[in-house]
């Protein structure tokens, strides 16, 4: 598939998913109108926060489904939309945990309701608490309705049960990963590289890569061996993707990534980079700067230089390549048809190229 064809296919898949989500939010807002305008506003805010993303997870669902020969795009779009709504729920709650009020360059659910409270004259601490409280409610609604969208897909019987189990595993694993991430912040000693990899697998790779791919394969009627192989591909690719994402969070070009290269360092985010650096002699110089909310660009550049000289950057890049290679090995499994390899072989190189 050439670049033009890929763009066309990706747009088609996204349009199917967007149509499902538009219908879902339309129905929800109509129901909310019978209760009151404030409830409608909440649903409008949640809808706004679910828009603007790349629809990456539903794209995984539809790509796997079609690669295995599936042809019912409407049903697949509902399953994909379920994963997108799960993603919305998780990021809304993640922002609450991190006390973040901005996402994608604008106010998130917490930020929107904090701003409304401030406009009404409520002091900042109380306004922030109101914003975070409403975000909990909004995230709960998105989480519950992710499962409802599966029910509305039209699948039934054993297939419906399997898809519920897959979505349940996505949520179950992500919650465990989030817990580990929170726990890491409570301990002064940096976690090990293995601990970080396990956290990133649970928190991100399972729900963003592994389970959406498995859901698409199951929906298309793939056998157990194929579902397992594709899930293993997604799990390893997801870990590679997250390691690269962490590299970009420190060394990336903000113009390309749209992400600040100061945020992770100011936050004290635990990543493979930091876990490795903590085992080197350079850590004594990094530690006083790392996690400083007032860190400036000069201090950040000092950390970057030390991460380079410690070998942490080189190590993280090599580890990302290793997990990408593991992903490729699973994609090469004899249990997967050539159509699946053709669909996903480009994903491996794309992930690694993000770090260049």
List, for residues 136-169, the tens digit of each pLDDT value.
999 999 999 999 999 999 999 999 999 999 999 9
Confidence at residue 145, expressed as pLDDT on a 0 to 100 scale: 98
Of 182-196, 208-222, 235-249, the range with the lowest mean pLDDT is: 182-196
Grade residue 352 by pLDDT with cuts at 50, 70 and 90.
confident
Q: What's the average model confidence in pLDDT over 86-91?
A: 97
- pLDDT band, residue 187 (cuts 50/70/90): confident
Q: Which residues contact 90 (CB under 8 A, 6 or more apart)?
A: 139, 143, 174, 178, 207
Check: CB of residue 193 under 8 Å from CB of residue 275: yes
Tell me how far CA of residue 133 lies from CA of 15, 31, 113, 120, 121, in angstroms: 32, 22, 9, 17, 18
Distance from C-alpha of 131 to C-alpha of 108, rounded to nearest angstrom: 9
pLDDT at residue 4, as a whole number? 55
Tell me the average pLDDT across 260-273.
91
Q: How much of the chain exceeds pLDDT 90, in percent?
A: 85
pLDDT above 80 for 78: yes
Mean pLDDT of 290-307: 96
- The per-residue pLDDT for 26 is 98
pTM here is 0.94
Q: How far apart are CA 347 and CA 7, in angstroms?
A: 14
Mean pLDDT over each residue of the chain, to the nearest integer: 94
Please list, in sequence order, all residues whose beta carbon lies within 8 angstroms of the beta carbon of residue 29, skipping any fewer than 6 positions away.
Answer: 40, 43, 44, 47
Statement: residue 330 has pLDDT above 90: yes
pLDDT of 303: 97
> Could you tell me what percentage of the chain is helix, strand and coil, using 3-state DSSP and rounding each to the nearest 5?
75, 0, 20
**Among 82, 62, 81, 85, which residue's Cα sits nearest to residue 73?**
62
For residue 266, the Cα-to-chain-centroid distance in whole angstroms is 21
Q: Which residue has the higher pLDDT, 356 or 280?
A: 280
Alpha carbon separation from 262 to 252, 276, 311, 333 (Å, rounded)? 10, 19, 20, 40
Smallest CA-to-CA distance from 58 within 198, 169, 167, 172 is with 167
**Cβ atoms of 93 and 136 closer than 8 Å:** yes
16, 18, 29, 267 from 47: Cα distances, Å: 17, 11, 10, 28
Q: What is the average per-residue pLDDT within 194-214?
A: 98
């Amino acid at each position: 598939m050439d670049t033009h064809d890929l763009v066309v296919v990706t747009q088609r898949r996204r349009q199917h998913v967007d149509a499902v989500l538009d219908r879902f939010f339309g129905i929800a807002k109509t129901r909310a109108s019978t209760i009151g305008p404030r409830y409608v506003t909440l649903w409008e805010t949640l809808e706004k926060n679910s828009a603007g993303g790349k629809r990456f997870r539903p794209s995984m669902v539809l790509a796997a489904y079609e690669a295995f020969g599936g042809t019912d795009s409407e049903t697949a779009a509902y399953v994909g939309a379920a994963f997108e709504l799960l993603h919305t729920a998780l990021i809304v709650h993640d922002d609450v945990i991190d006390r973040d009020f901005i996402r994608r360059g604008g106010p998130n659910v917490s930020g929107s309701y904090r701003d409304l409270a401030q406009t009404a004259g409520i002091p900042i601490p109380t306004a922030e608490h109101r914003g975070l409280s409403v975000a909990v409610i909004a995230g709960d609604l998105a989480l519950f309705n992710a499962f409802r969208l599966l029910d509305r897909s039209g699948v039934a019987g054993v297939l419906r049960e399997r898809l519920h189990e897959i979505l349940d595993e996505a949520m179950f694993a992500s919650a465990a990963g989030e817990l580990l991430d929170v726990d890491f912040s409570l301990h002064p000693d940096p976690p090990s590289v293995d601990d970080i990899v396990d956290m990133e697998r649970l928190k991100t790779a399972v729900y963003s890569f592994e389970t959406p791919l498995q859901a698409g394969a199951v929906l298309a009627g793939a056998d157990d061996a194929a579902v397992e192989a594709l899930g293993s591909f997604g799990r390893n690719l997801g870990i590679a993707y997250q390691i690269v994402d962490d590299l970009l969070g420190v060394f990336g070009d903000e113009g390309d990534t749209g992400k600040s290269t100061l945020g992770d360092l100011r936050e004290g985010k635990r990543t493979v980079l930091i876990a490795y650096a903590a085992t080197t002699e350079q850590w004594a110089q990094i530690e006083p700067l790392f996690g400083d909310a007032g860190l400036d660009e000069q201090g950040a550049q000092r950390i970057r230089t030390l991460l380079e000289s410690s070998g942490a950057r080189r190590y993280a890049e090599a580890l990302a390549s290793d997990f990408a290679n593991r992903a490729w090995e699973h994609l090469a499994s004899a249990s997967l048809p050539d159509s699946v390899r053709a669909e996903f072989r480009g994903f491996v190189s794309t992930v690694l190229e993000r770090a260049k």
